[in-house]
């Protein structure tokens, strides 16, 4: 009897202790110290790496935008550049080298001085394959955007010079990108190949901790060369489900979030505690139709050399290689209805492969209308009066340029069924999806692009050039090879004359339109939601997220 009572008491006591310890945990982690200004931002996924030179995904980038800085930076709401870690610069007359004067008295978070050596380090580790730190990263963006840089040299302690292999009209805007942010050489030496887990830059926030798939904590850098940021702490918390994210925001568990579900906009606007910030996005979401031919870039220079022949992609299919069939697909899909009803009006219909506000956008292109009869006629002309079957690859995750790809895929499936094209929908995890579409294993796929630097080259050359048809690393996942397109895109990059550049890009867009390698769907707005008392956040066209000016009232 007595024993039993003691047993019950013990169990009860244990329960109380367990509960108490749990609540202890929560208060310890969640509750800010009084007077501390903390902003928790709900992200849709975790960062992959925290090394600015070695990332390509938006989640990693938005964390690093607040830790690192580059030589130049974008103005708060445009892609024009202004001085940052470089105070001034000079371009030589032939346009082949640029001299930068660096800012004095800037320190990295680990206490190292910022100077010419750290700049050279940050660049050289990416392009110099014999650099001791070269093997610690894949440096994908260097290949995409910076391969025209031949080398970077130190002139004196606070002057450096960048040498270009050929003229590049986009180079100055590109230099404001995350890829070429300055990293501390001492920090790289201390952590070696794990440096991506211990970032150290010159930016307004310092890295504190990273709990994988849960949160990343940053704190204000009191030694920042500008005024210290107003927030004391900035936490990026991962909440994958958009409705769970919104609920956390409504309960003030987090103070801001990205990618709200368009169907919830009415509810957000009705809630006086929340504010929805919207701006046109610099992106494009499209359906890429595999035209069938790629090349193996054996020397990995990102250019198709004469000894690299065109080969059929794995998913080559007779009907899709036919221009008329691709045009028919364009006619069969009602983009307006998709944008109105599935994007819920948070996007504009796309007719070209880059957003309308960019240099060289060709407004003369007349978009394919929604005309199923025309589509059937074209299919008959192409020799497929009874249609054909194919497979549509649909990404499993929401992207800035496409909020709900599975629904859009299903709508497209249904539109195509109306003109006798039977497509199966194929889904696979995101990492594999990217890998396999870059290798050309898809007959048709949904994909898109968010611009990095506001230069048309960053859309046209990356997504539609012949050189981007390299099997395995293709940016042109329609595998559309047209030598004239390549010619004008290369010419456009090498001239500094804006009108001439615009003309080249317009020609490229017209050619792409005629050959119907893609069905351009939409340019999505970028949306973030904050609590109403969060002030000072400015949406940047590149979708990068700078929290430096943000404050909570």
Contact between 78 and 65 under an 8 Å Cβ cutoff? The reply is no
Which residues, 311 to 340, sit near other proteins by CB under 8 A? 332, 334, 337-338, 340
Beta bridge partners of 43: 238
507 binds other proteins (CB under 8 A): no
Distance CA 366, CA 354 (A): 15
For other proteins, how many residues bind (rule: CB under 8 A)? 32
The residue (of 199 and 400) whose beta carbon lies closer to other proteins is 400
Instruction: Select the residue interacting with other proteins from 97, 159, 413, 473 (CB under 8 A).
Output: 413
Considering only residues 15, 20, 417, 499, which one is a binding residue for other proteins as defined by CB under 8 A? 417
Rounded distance, CA 399 to CA 364, Å? 29
- Exactly one of 83, 124, 407, 552 binds other proteins (CB under 8 A); that residue is 407
| Residue among 252, 341, 498, 532 that touches other proteins (CB under 8 A) | 341
Give the residue from 383, 364, 369 showing the smallest Cα distance to 323: 383
Return the HEC string of 217-273. EEEECCCCCCCCCCCCEEEEEECCCHHHHHHHHHCCCCCEEECCCHHHHHHHHHCCC
* 236-265 residues near other proteins, rule: CB under 8 A: 242-243, 246-247, 261, 263-264
Interaction pattern, residues 135-174, with other proteins; x per rule: CB under 8 A = ----------------------------------------
Question: Left, alpha or beta for 516 (phi > 0: left; psi -120 to 50: alpha)?
Answer: left
Closer residue to other proteins (CB): 116 or 329: 329
* Comparison of 13 and 247: residue with beta carbon closer to other proteins: 247
Among 100, 415, 504, 520, binds other proteins (CB under 8 A): 415
Evaluate whether 400 touches 528 at the Cβ level (below 8 Å): no
Please tell me the distance from the alpha carbon of residue 494 to that of residue 489, in angstroms, as a whole number. 9
Please pick, from the candidates 36, 90, 363, 424, the single residue that binds other proteins as defined by CB under 8 A.
424
Rounded CA separation 446/466 (Å): 20
For residue 507, CA distances in Å to 20, 161, 354, 464, 504 come to 69, 35, 13, 13, 5
The residue (of 420 and 494) whose beta carbon lies closer to other proteins is 420
Interaction of residue 432 with other proteins, rule CB under 8 A? no
Between 405-417 and 323-332, two packed helices, what is the crossing angle to 10 degrees?
110
Stretch that binds other proteins, among 29-37, 86-94, 221-229, 419-427 (CB under 8 A): 419-427
Binding other proteins (rule: CB under 8 A), the pick from 37, 348, 411, 538 is 411
536, 40, 37, 525: which is closest to 245 by C-alpha?
40
SS3 6: helix
Residues found near other proteins in the complex (CB under 8 A): 242-243, 246-247, 261, 263-264, 266-267, 332, 334, 337-338, 340-342, 372, 396, 404, 406-407, 409-411, 413-415, 417-418, 424-425, 427
């Amino acid at each position: 009897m007595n024993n039993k009572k003691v047993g019950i008491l013990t169990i009860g006591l244990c329960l109380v202790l367990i509960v108490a310890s749990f609540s202890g945990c929560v208060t310890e982690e969640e509750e800010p110290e009084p007077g501390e200004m903390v902003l928790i931002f709900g992200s849709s996924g975790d960062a992959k790496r925290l090394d600015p030179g070695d990332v390509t995904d938006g989640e990693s980038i938005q964390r690093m935008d607040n830790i690192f800085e580059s030589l130049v930076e974008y103005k708060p709401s445009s892609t024009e550049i202004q001085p940052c870690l470089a105070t001034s610069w000079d371009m030589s007359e032939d346009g082949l080298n640029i001299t930068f004067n660096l800012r004095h008295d800037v320190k990295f978070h680990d206490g190292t001085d910022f100077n010419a050596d750290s700049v050279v380090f940050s660049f050289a580790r990416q392009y110099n394959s014999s650099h001791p730190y070269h093997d610690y990263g894949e440096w994908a963006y260097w290949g995409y955007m910076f391969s025209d840089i031949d080398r970077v040299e130190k002139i004196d302690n606070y002057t450096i010079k960048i040498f270009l292999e050929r003229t590049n009209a986009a180079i100055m805007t590109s230099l404001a990108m995350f890829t070429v942010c300055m990293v501390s050489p001492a920090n790289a030496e201390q952590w070696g190949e794990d440096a991506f887990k211990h970032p150290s830059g010159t930016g307004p926030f310092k890295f504190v901790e990273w709990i994988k798939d849960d949160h990343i904590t940053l704190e204000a850098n009191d030694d920042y060369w500008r005024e210290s940021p107003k927030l004391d702490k900035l936490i990026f918390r991962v909440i994958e489900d958009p409705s769970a994210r919104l609920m956390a925001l409504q309960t003030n568990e987090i103070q801001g979030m990205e990618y709200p579900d368009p169907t919830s906009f009415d509810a957000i606007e009705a809630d006086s505690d929340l504010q929805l910030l919207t701006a046109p996005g610099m992106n494009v979401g499209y359906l890429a139709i595999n035209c069938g031919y790629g090349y193996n870039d054996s020397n990995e220079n990102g250019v198709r050399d004469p000894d690299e022949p065109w080969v059929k992609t794995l998913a080559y299919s007779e009907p899709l290689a036919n221009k008329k069939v691709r045009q028919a697909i364009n006619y069969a899909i009602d983009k307006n209805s998709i944008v109105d009803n599935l994007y819920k009006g948070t996007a504009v219909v796309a007719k070209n492969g880059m957003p309308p506000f960019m240099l060289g956008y060709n407004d003369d292109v007349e978009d394919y209308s929604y005309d199923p009869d025309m589509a059937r006629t074209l299919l008959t002309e192409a020799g497929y009066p009874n249609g054909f079957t194919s497979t549509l690859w649909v990404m499993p995750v929401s992207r800035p340029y496409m909020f709900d790809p599975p629904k859009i895929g299903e709508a497209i499936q249904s539109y195509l069924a109306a003109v006798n094209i039977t497509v199966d929908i194929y889904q696979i995890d995101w990492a594999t999806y990217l890998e396999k579409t870059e290798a050309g294993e898809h007959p048709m796929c949904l994909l898109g692009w968010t611009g990095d630097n506001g230069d048309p080259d960053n859309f046209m050359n990356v997504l539609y050039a012949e050189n981007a048809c390299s099997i395995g690393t293709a940016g042109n996942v329609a595998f559309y090879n047209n030598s004239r397109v390549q010619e004008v895109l290369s010419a456009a990059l090498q001239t500094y004359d804006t009108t001439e550049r615009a003309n080249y890009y317009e020609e490229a867009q017209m050619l792409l339109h005629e050959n119907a390698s893609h069905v351009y769907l939409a340019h999505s707005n970028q949306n973030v939601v904050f609590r109403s008392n969060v002030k000072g956040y400015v949406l940047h066209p590149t979708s990068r997220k700078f929290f430096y000016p943000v404050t909570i009232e």
